[in-house]
Amino acid sequence: MNTLKTVQVLSKTGKVLSKIVFIFCIIGFCGCIAGILSMALGVQTLKLGGITLKGILQAENISEKGVYAAMAACMIFCAGEAVLAKFAEHYFRRELSDGTPFTSGGAGEMMRLGILAVCIPIGIQIIVSIIYAASGQAVQGTIDFGSSGSVALGIMFIVMSVICRYGAEQCKKTDEGQ
């Protein structure tokens, strides 16, 4: 039973971390909207020691179109990651209420989480590439969100869901045999 206790602690930690990531993604999404609106309205939002945001952009030779594209890309990233974090939180909440990862329902949710952890980052990267292409920004100026880590994590969730489903089947057989 010591191992189950460890799994439960990890699930509680996963639930809390998922909630924190979700909140940060919402903050990032709103910050990008505020940045786009403030630039569109011409508001001088950043002025440090006589240096403005517009001055920094001109000194670095960054176009306003590039900044808009980068903020739109970050909005898409934050939205996708918020969705993924919410599904992760839902999975961990389910595992905690079930008391074990070895349930058919929990294994199904873990499978869904794994598929989403693979698909969402790839989808984000495709959408971001479209945004940059539509804005006319050079490929070298794009933001790489590094989806390979999430894809690996998603594959791991998929494999673990099959193992958990097998464990659920074995538990069911044991319960029926007694």
The residue with tokens 């990651």 is 81
d(C-alpha 143, C-alpha 128), whole Å = 8
pTM for this predicted structure: 0.82
Find the largest Cα–Cα distance for the chain.
78
Mean pLDDT of the chain: 86
The answer to whether the beta carbons of residues 25 and 78 sit under 8 Å apart is yes
The continuous run of DSSP H or E covering 51 comes out as strand 51-52
Strand, coil or helix: what is 22?
A: helix
Q: What is the mean pLDDT of residues 91-103?
A: 94
pLDDT tens digits, 32-88: 998 888 888 876 556 667 666 666 666 777 777 778 888 898 999 999 999 999 999
CA 121 – CA 77 distance, rounded (Å): 8
Bridge partner list, 178: none
Q: For residue 86, what pLDDT is reported?
A: 97
**CA nearest to 120, candidates 144, 146, 147:** 147
Q: How confident is the model at residue 144 (pLDDT cuts 50, 70, 90)?
A: low
> Taking phi first (over 0 means left), then psi (-120 to 50 degrees means alpha), and beta for anything else, what does residue 142 get?
beta
Rounded to whole angstroms, the Cα distance separating 96 from 43 reads 47
| Other beta carbons less than 10 A from residue 173's beta carbon | 10
Q: What is the pLDDT of residue 143?
A: 61
